[in-house]
Amino acid sequence: MQTISRRSIVRGAAMTAAAVTIAKPYLAFGQAAGPFTQPPLPYKEDALAPSISAQTVGLHYGKHHKAYFDNLNKFTAGTPYAAMKLEEVMKASAGKPEDARIFNNAGQAWNHILYWDQFKPGGAKTPSGKLAAAIDKDLGGFQAMKDKLTEASVGVFGSGWGWLVQDGDKLTIMSTPGGDNPVAKGKRALLGIDVWEHAYYLDYQNRRPDHVKAVLDTLVNWDYVRDRMA
Ligand SMILES: [Fe+2]
């Protein structure tokens, strides 16, 4: 796993990409039981620029995502959750107010694994194969799907996520607040748009729609999204 030095983060826009290990795209959702480990970033911090700056990626991955793992390990220590896999933690803690902090941190740990993994500089810019067919059948085509996903993401009140979801044999668009996600509701998340302000405020300030458009048009690896279909 790469390290992101505090100094490189503080340097902000002037920083050079920290030394990173370029991992193969990972599918860590089924990782072994805790302690829960943040997977490596699958590209350099500046790989998503200019759509998402190296400064935002450095803070988002190195501080926010890391903190969800740190808190999850802290809050689950000594509980039955510590022996579960990450997805099991989300499902077991969902709907339990007394375990809300575990659910929220597990959800955010999981959500950001998908988030980083679904992007690829130079990746497939349009859906293909069974994904393209399903988008045409269920969501009215690629542009209509992007419009619906943008509307759902931009419309989140406060912090949360917009999602392209496989629900049984049908694709749908949904949004969730905070650290919640489709997995906790028994659905399969194919693509997640993070609209917490930490995802875009340094680069776009209050222009959330511009950020969502940039993500969908320039960063998503649609082959990866296709391969996540059941
Ligand atoms: Fe985030």
pLDDT at residue 6 in the model: 35
Task: Give the max Cα distance, the chain.
Answer: 49
pLDDT at residue 122 in the model: 87
Sequence letter at residue 15? M
pLDDT at residue 28 in the model: 52
Cα distances (angstroms) measured from residue 22 to each of 47, 59, 144: 11, 18, 34
Sequence letter at residue 85? K
Mean pLDDT, 10 residues at a time, over the chain (230 residues)? 35 34 43 79 96 98 98 96 92 96 97 96 93 98 98 98 97 97 94 98 97 97 96
pLDDT at residue 29 in the model: 57
**What domains sit in the chain, N to C, each tagged with a CATH number?**
6-117 (1.10.287.990), 129-227 (3.55.40.20)
Please tell me the distance from the alpha carbon of residue 105 to that of residue 107, in angstroms, as a whole number: 5
Pairing state of beta strands 170-177 and 160-167? Answer: antiparallel
Show binding-site residues: 60, 112, 194, 198
Distance 160 CA to ligand 1 centre (A): 9
Phi/psi region, residue 122 (left: phi>0; alpha: psi -120 to 50; beta: rest), is: left
Distance 178 CA to ligand 1 centre (A): 10
CB atoms within 10 A of CB 219: 17
Distance 48 CA to ligand 1 centre (A): 15
Distance 111 CA to ligand 1 centre (A): 8
Q: Which residues on adjacent β-strands are paired with residue 161?
A: 176, 194
Distance 21 CA to ligand 1 centre (A): 21
What SS3 state is found at 79? coil
